[in-house]
Structure formats: structure tokens, C-alpha cells
Amino acid sequence: MVTTEFAPDVEKGRFRPGLRVKGVQGAPGVYEMTWAPDGRATWEYGNERYPGKPHVIWRRVGTHAIFNPGPP
């Protein structure tokens, strides 16, 4: 399950290769990850809510379609 892999990796500041975490081109500070053939999510770090604990803000979660621009 993704949460059992993602949360500990966020704490460590290193992501296992299976999550394929990388920065989103043209969007500094925004990251993407892939956890299944068509499972995608984008996220960014927010201000800490608890001292010493990273805070993640989920932007989009779904299929590869999350990368398609929406209506103008």
C-alpha cells in the first residue's frame, strides 16, 4: 500500500525507487509519484504543523489524466 511506503519515506527524506518520486517540470517545489501502472499523484511540502514533522499537501491524485490541463 502506498501510504505504508510513502509516509515513512517522507519522514526519512528519501523515497524508495518503486514510488518514482521526482520534481514536476516547470513547477518548482511540486513533486509527482507513481505507484501503479496508472496511479499518479502530485504534491508539495507545506509548513510544518508539528515540529520536526514534514507536512505534505496533496494536489492531484488519480490516473495519468491528472497531468492534462483542465478547462480554461
- At 32-68, the pLDDT tens digits run 998 788 888 899 999 999 999 999 999 988 887 777 7
Domain ranges (residues) in the chain: 2-67
Provide the pLDDT for residue 1. 47
What is the predicted pLDDT for the residue at 44?
96
Q: Is the pTM above the cut of 0.85?
A: no
Say yes or no to pLDDT of 14 above 80. yes
Whole-number Å distance between alpha carbons of 27 and 67: 12
Q: What architecture is domain 2-67?
A: 2-Layer Sandwich (3.30)
3-state SS track over 2-63: HHHHHHHHHHHCCCCHHHCCEECCCCCCEEEEEEECCEEEEEEEEEEEECCEEEEEEEEEEC
Higher pLDDT, 4 or 22: 22
